[in-house]
Structure 1
């Protein structure tokens, strides 16, 4: 039964799943659909056990087009419908079928700002966009400044577009400096992302100095494992990085 529920929630490409979404759920959230007497025994059985197993189904957000804002579990606070009243939802102009994609615009929430005071669970919510995560927060800004100081290629920037435009000309180059710059970019992104996950899910954090040390040591090990050609440029690069 749990497998059947998972297939419904994942909208798997089965004929019976499509039938349930179109004729039984009528594209409502599985968690909010009413149990009607005309439903088959199997459907009523699935709906009767849904709240017993609800906590094990966490929605994968992706672009938000397949996540029901109020009824799916996509945040640490559980379903938003558990504490946000349906009256408030309607007053903002949303409905039970509103998708997560529909409540975000330009890195901000489309609900009333007063909600952050009315509902304590929302007080510290911000949309963690790529621009904010990798470029606009103080932590990532320090990391990029450090990475830029290590590389002869200026890979710092304010947006993804800026960084990509700087890296694009060297994407296929194979000089030692260009390879080191591209490796440095990848390592920096990796450790910024790891720190984000650590703070969100483990409720812990590392200092900026520690992350800088990890970036340097990881890149140094990578440089040491590459089989470089014997040339003056490679020797200079190794000297700059203090490769033993």
Structure 2
């Protein structure tokens, strides 16, 4: 079934179904690293191939996929960090001596003469208790070994705006630099399949012919047949795709040149959130998606369309998104 879904469809299935089931167990047990590795392998295979059992080289490293969207990722959970965040919540409940049978049992069995911040796990301790102590050590090391600082940090997680688990997850997860293009690529009004292809194009990860050098094939652009195909050429240095993008910009009354994806993102960066600005950001995702779709049809199906036909196709997709969000103001973008 997965191979019939778009990348965005597979991502949504991972986020809502598969990760939901996994998180149930992450919430209860310390999951061994070998098990997490196998789960990640299944999820990675499904995302990039549509088949959980078929291995393939990932287009984007899984670590980067798990970054938040404002750090250049897809916002999937890092499973180890998620597991540790749940365990840290257990640690905090033990510190607070929360009123539950399990917490009372922990204090009776493990903490009869020690604090949770000083007790050590023994070889005979349960895997869950060992994992909680390991999480405690990670937090303690970050705070310079100070129990006071460790408690203060976790109290801030508990009292700050947002759930405790969210703050704990941000502490344990790998982090990357904030990217300037996240709010354009992941514009909330855009359809996920447009945003996903735009994300890959922004990262330079679409399978253009210059990246498939190891496969004997014609390296020339499927549109102009004059230059080698690359991300920079397709978006929008190519004469054919450049004419399509210029046609769309004229219709949307965009005066800036925007001759590449990076310059388009700079020009469309959300300085305001009015309707016209939002739809202009949506238009970039639709355009990149249509160009990539047309490129694949020309290569694999030997079918092609002219610039004007592509522009009409763009308008249909544009109005579909626009109608869903604000059908009463369609006159802002009249059909030419």
> Structures share a fold, TM > 0.5?
no
User: Whose relative contact order is higher, 1 or 2, with alpha carbons under 8 Å and at least 6 apart?
Assistant: 2
Bigger helix share: 2
Length-normalised TM-score, structure 1: 0.44
Length-normalised TM-score, structure 2: 0.33
